[in-house]
């Protein structure tokens, strides 16, 4: 016992630096290979444009919101507002800074969104829960209004829209579907790696501690207000980049209306369905949200032939989503990712039960 406790008091600073070689799980390597090589080769334009790019961007947005809401416990319904900031800021940088490379413009747009997110996160020191959610709602409407109201942001275009500027990297054009897909994929992979690092680090633990019990977090020495603001900033950075990609890699032409409150709810649903406080959940949730309508369309066609009109199908979708959200909130607050995990555990132990 004495030896243990004696070691406990050993100093912090004398640990040698050894490089831990991380093993790349085969599954991940395979997934990346498929995503970077197979899909661009095999996928047709429709798949890339209409399914894979929006799926990836929505996953990224979910990731951003999840860091704030799932990991830090600060519910926000203003996600799309910060996406808009990223989109308009990236546009402004590409337009007004001559020769700025695309990656720099994206990071710049993300940083501007992060700064704004940090500002809107300041009230989180004083208000919690429902009332904090209302301030994010206010942020959403305010930001939307600003980008619709002041023509400077959309360069005085009579349409009030911003459209994809030169998408190029080191002289290569990224304007083709494959180019836009690879741009999006690279951003998503890089930022997912960063997010995994973050949630496994002391920063991530501090966020989760604040989520679970903020008084205790302060008592053990976590600067609660600072980490809440940091969560707002990091979350908005992710959302900002997602917004820029949504505008330029997916839509091509966007306006303030592309980032309305419905988009915010869509992102929120992604993390509820996929799983709060889970990285993989964002991808599962985004896949669900973006594939479900397509699936329903086909199912509707197949079941009823041409007898159901599109409007009714859309209503059906809304009802289905609403029901699912309620089911998830009540039955499985940890989302689809948890359901899949449970299933896997059961399969693993399945033969043993007999």
Q: Does 241 bind other proteins (CB under 8 A)?
A: no
The reply to whether 24 sits near other proteins by the rule CB under 8 A is no
202: contact with other proteins by CB under 8 A: yes
Which residue in 87, 139, 185, 222 binds other proteins (CB under 8 A)? 222
Largest Cα–Cα distance of the chain, in whole Å?
A: 80
Q: Which residue, among 210, 209, 242, has the nearest Cα to 132 in the 3D structure?
A: 210
Residue selected from 120, 180, 185, 211 as contacting other proteins according to rule CB under 8 A: 211
Least separation, in Å, of the C-beta of 256 and other proteins? 30
Q: What distance in Å separates the CA atoms of residue 201 and residue 22, rounded to the nearest whole number?
A: 16
Q: Of residues 26, 28, 220, 330, which one binds other proteins by CB under 8 A?
A: 220
Site stretch for other proteins (CB under 8 A), options 6-14, 28-36, 240-248, 306-314: 6-14
Q: Are 207 and 226 in contact (CB under 8 A)?
A: no
Query: Does residue 307 touch other proteins according to CB under 8 A?
Result: no
For residue 329, state whether it binds other proteins (rule: CB under 8 A).
no
Q: Which of 215, 262, 307, 349 binds other proteins (CB under 8 A)?
A: 215
Residue 243, token pair as written in the block: 């917004």
Burial degree of 144 (CB within 10 A; 0-12, 13-18, 19+):
buried
| Contact status: 228 vs other proteins (CB under 8 A) | no
State the burial class of residue 318 (Cβ atoms within 10 Å of its Cβ: 0-12, 13-18, 19+): exposed
Strands (E), 135-174: 162-163, 168-169, 172-173
Other C-beta atoms closer than 10 Å to the C-beta of 50 total: 14
Q: Which two tokens stand for residue 87?
A: 């989109």
Cβ distance to other proteins smaller for residue 18 or 159: 18
Q: How far apart are alpha carbons 234 and 353 in whole angstroms? A: 45
The answer to whether 125 contacts other proteins (rule: CB under 8 A) is: no
- All residues at 6 or more sequence positions from 31 whose CB lies less than 8 Å from its CB, including other chains: none
* Binding residues with other proteins: total (CB under 8 A): 38
Given candidates 52, 57, 93, 230, which one binds other proteins under the rule CB under 8 A? 230
9 forms part of the interface with other proteins (CB under 8 A)? yes
Report the nearest approach of other proteins to the CB of residue 83 (Å).
21
Query: How far from 14 is each of 6, 11, 118, CA to CA, in Å?
Result: 16, 6, 36
Query: Of 58, 217, 247, 337, which one interacts with other proteins (CB under 8 A)?
Result: 217
Per-residue CA distances from 135 to 75, 95, 129, 255, 298 (Å): 10, 31, 10, 23, 40
What are φ and ψ of residue 343, in 5° steps? Answer: -60, -40
Q: Which of 4, 158, 159, 349 binds other proteins (CB under 8 A)?
A: 4
Mention every residue, 6+ apart, whose C-beta is less than 8 A from residue 97. 105
Q: Does 127 bind other proteins (CB under 8 A)?
A: no
Q: Which of residues 161-200 bind other proteins (CB under 8 A)?
A: 194, 197-198
101, 127, 149, 212: which one binds other proteins (CB under 8 A): 212
Helix, strand, or coil (residue 217) = helix
Q: Which is nearer to other proteins, 168 or 225 (CB)?
A: 225
| 41 binding other proteins? (CB under 8 A) | no
Q: Assess 213 for contact with other proteins (CB under 8 A).
A: yes
CB of 148 or CB of 194, closer to other proteins:
194
Verify binding: residue 1, other proteins, rule CB under 8 A. Answer: yes
Which residues are CB-contacts of 234 (< 8 A; sequence separation ≥ 6)? 64, 67, 68, 114, 198
User: Applying CB under 8 A, which part among 15-23, 35-43, 46-54, 109-117 lies near other proteins?
Assistant: 15-23
Q: Backbone dihedral region of 352: left (phi > 0), alpha (psi from -120 to 50 degrees) or beta?
A: alpha
Q: Examine residue 218 and tell whether it contacts other proteins (CB under 8 A).
A: yes
Q: Which residues contact other proteins by CB under 8 A?
A: 1-2, 4-9, 12, 15, 17-18, 20, 194, 197-198, 201-203, 205-206, 208-209, 211-213, 215-223, 230, 234, 277
């Amino acid at each position: 016992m004495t030896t243990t406790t004696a070691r406990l008091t050993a100093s912090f600073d004398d640990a040698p630096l050894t490089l831990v070689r991380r093993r790349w799980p085969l599954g991940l390597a395979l997934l990346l290979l498929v995503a970077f090589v197979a899909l661009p080769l095999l996928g047709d334009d429709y798949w890339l444009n209409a399914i894979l790019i929006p799926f990836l961007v929505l996953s990224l947005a979910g990731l951003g919101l999840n860091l704030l809401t799932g990991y830090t416990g600060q519910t926000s319904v203003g996600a799309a507002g910060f996406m808009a900031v990223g989109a308009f800021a990236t546009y402004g940088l590409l337009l007004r800074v001559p020769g700025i490379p695309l990656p720099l413009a994206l990071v710049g747009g993300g940083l501007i969104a992060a700064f704004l997110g940090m500002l809107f996160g300041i009230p989180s020191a004083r208000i919690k829960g429902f009332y904090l959610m209302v301030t994010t709602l206010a942020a959403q409407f305010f930001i939307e209004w600003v980008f619709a109201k002041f023509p400077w942001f959309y360069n005085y275009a009579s349409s009030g829209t911003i459209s994809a500027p030169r998408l190029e990297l080191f002289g290569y054009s990224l304007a083709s579907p494959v180019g836009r897909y690879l741009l999006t994929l690279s951003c998503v992979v890089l930022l997912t790696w960063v997010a995994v690092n973050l949630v496994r680090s002391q920063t991530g633990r501090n966020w989760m501690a604040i989520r679970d019990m903020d008084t205790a977090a302060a008592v053990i020495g976590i600067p609660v207000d600072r980490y809440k603001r940091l969560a707002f900033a990091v979350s908005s950075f992710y959302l900002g980049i997602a917004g820029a990609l949504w505008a330029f890699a997916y839509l091509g032409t966007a306006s303030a209306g592309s980032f309305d409150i419905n988009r915010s709810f869509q992102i929120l649903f992604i993390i509820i369905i996929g799983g709060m406080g889970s990285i993989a959940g964002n991808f599962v949730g985004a896949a669900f949200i973006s594939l479900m309508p397509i699936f329903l369309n086909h199912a509707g066609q197949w079941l009823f032939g041409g007898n159901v009109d599109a409007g009714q199908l859309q209503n059906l979708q809304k009802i289905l989503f609403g029901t699912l959200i309620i089911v998830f909130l009540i039955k499985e607050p940890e989302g689809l990712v948890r359901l899949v995990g449970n299933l896997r555990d059961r399969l693993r132990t399945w033969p043993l039960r007999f």
